[in-house]
Amino acid sequence: MKSLEGKHDCSPQPILNKRRTLGTGKHALEVSTLGFGVMGMNYNRGPHPERKALIALLHQAVERGVTLFDTAEVYGPFINEELAGEALHPYRNKIAITTKFGHEIINGKHTGGLNSRPEHIRQVAEESLKRLRIDAIELFYQHRFDPNVPIEDVAGAVKDLIQEGKVKRFGLCEVNAQTIRRAHAIQPVTAVQSEYHLMWREQEKEVLPVLEELGIGFVPYSPLNRGFLGGTLNEYTKFDSGNDNRNTLPRFTSEAMRANLSIVEVLNKFGRTRGVTSGQLALAWLLARKPWIVPIPGTTKLAHLEENLKAADMTLFAEEWHELEHDLSKITIVGDRYNATEQKKVAQ
């Protein structure tokens, strides 16, 4: 192991000074090496602290160098954008808030359907701007591919919003290489956001090569596999049936978690002699893949925020990464990442 900034960082308040760039040219976006996924603070991750504590934690993230914050209208719906807007408004000129469109929401409830019609994209942009309390959306992602709307029309709609100054950059989520190429030809794509971590590496086959070719950044969501790679979940963990989507995911059944715990054990064994946690290893692994990858781990705990930020300073020798890869290659991951309904939305 080379260093954690030359030595193990024992500082109680790590500061994230390093930066990375998503995209290229006039649509590039310089951000902190690690971003922050706001979603789990009050949506899809079970019980959460009171709003005052969440706002204080987001302030801590900014003060410690995080400049990229990710949310979406469908998280709630709306409550996650509202939280981000309230908490981050004092820092609006120093950070980038990214959000997403593409779901069908009627009377404040997500129907489960998709809607990326150009007129709807415009409506979402207008409403998100108000909730986020900003003048322009730094990066506006299509949240899920809509088979009923040509991607060229989607890209064209966002291009119009960019020309009007309401949006600055265009992004895509969970799409294949062909869709990326088609969209990029109409409006340059700054970043693609998809699940990517040590337990889900499908993006390496086609998506990452086309991103490198076209100069597009990559933002892995759930970089710790919804907390599993952090080592605090096991077969006895119970998820809130009302506000935790892990309750519906095949990979988070008791049987699957029992089987998959072996990957955490490998990470713990590898990290123990290097003074790092399993979660830090998982994040550092992502950062080592490409210089244009910016993971967005989320948390409601200051200790986990500090742990995550320290991962940005971790550097391993190439042979150490090879050793870890060799040990992990012996493990077979159990359980699909989504149920059948959700999987259809990410198989485009």
Q: Which residues contact residue 310 at a Cβ distance below 8 angstroms, ignoring those fewer than 6 apart?
A: 4, 9, 14, 276, 280
**Is the Cβ–Cβ distance between 299 and 64 less than 8 Å?**
no
Q: Is 66 helix (H, G, I), strand (E, B) or coil?
A: coil
Query: How many other C-beta atoms are found inside a 10 Å radius of the C-beta of residue 162?
Result: 19
d(CA 48, CA 345): 27
Which of 75, 141, 196, 338 does the annotation list as catalytic?
75
Q: Which residues contact residue 128 at a Cβ distance below 8 angstroms, ignoring those fewer than 6 apart?
A: 73, 81, 99, 101, 137
Residue 308 pairs in a beta bridge with: none
Nearest to 293 by CA among 166, 174, 197: 197
**Is the Cβ–Cβ distance between 216 and 191 less than 8 Å?**
yes
**Is the Cβ–Cβ distance between 173 and 140 less than 8 Å?**
no
61 backbone dihedrals φ, ψ, rounded to 5°: -60, -45
221 counts as catalytic: no
Residues identified as active-site:
75
